[in-house]
Amino acid sequence: MYDICHPIYYYIGKLGCNNPVKISTAFYVYMELCEAKRFWDVNYKYNEELDLIYLEVKKNKHSNIEIYIPWPVSYSITLDLIEQMQQMLQTEHLTFVFKATDSTSVCYRASAGLVKPVAPELTKQLKEKEDKRMLLEKNIRKNTSNLYELAKSITAGNRSAQFTEDHDNENDLTNTATTSAMQP
């Protein structure tokens, strides 16, 4: 069977993993990283304790090694398993490449310090708060033109009041100057 396969498929199969789905997924991810993404250095490895094929990748000549985990979408994954992988592979960052049977792949990066999801009650409160904020923003957008016109009218009213006040002050100064000039 291996004589009609790509040599890398054969070598990945000889790492020790007996699961053909994991081997195929690792091969397709390897090819994608090498050929499509053109990463500088891609090496396949196997961790027997985790029964995990993973890839050590350098994106370019001078970048650090990153770990990519090929993962079939048909397999489930948990936070505990991710934490276990980080500990066993001695890294804080893992990039999962979720591969579908139609050859679609999606990359997700997981970092150490993952936290459990927020409690449902708090999530509900946060959603209500966000909904109120959105409603306020909607009302402000809806009334922006009215607020603009109101601001213009207030500004215009202040200008006319200022003009009237300035004009009255000028008249007072003129009258005072005229009166002073008339007195001997």
Predicted confidence band of residue 155 (pLDDT cuts 50, 70, 90)? confident
User: Which range, 20-34, 105-119, 151-165, has the best average confidence (pLDDT)?
Assistant: 20-34
Is pTM beyond 0.85 here? no
Q: What is the pLDDT of residue 142?
A: 86
**Bridge partners, 53 (sequence order):** 46
Looking at the predicted structure, is the pLDDT value of residue 132 above 80?
Answer: yes
The rounded distance, in Å, linking the Cα atoms of 54 and 20 is: 15
Looking at the predicted structure, is the pLDDT value of residue 169 above 60?
Answer: no
Residues 36-59, buried b or exposed e (16+ Cβ, 10 A)? eeebeebebebeeeeebbbbebeb
Nearest to 26 by CA among 8, 41, 40: 8
Handedness of CA 5, 7, 8, 14 (dihedral sign): positive
Looking at the predicted structure, is the pLDDT value of residue 182 above 80?
Answer: no
Q: What is the pLDDT of residues 75-123, one digit of tens each?
A: 999 989 999 999 999 999 999 999 998 889 999 999 887 567 778 898 8
In percent, the amount of the chain with pLDDT more than 90 equals: 48
- Check residues 5 and 177 and name the one with the higher pLDDT: 5
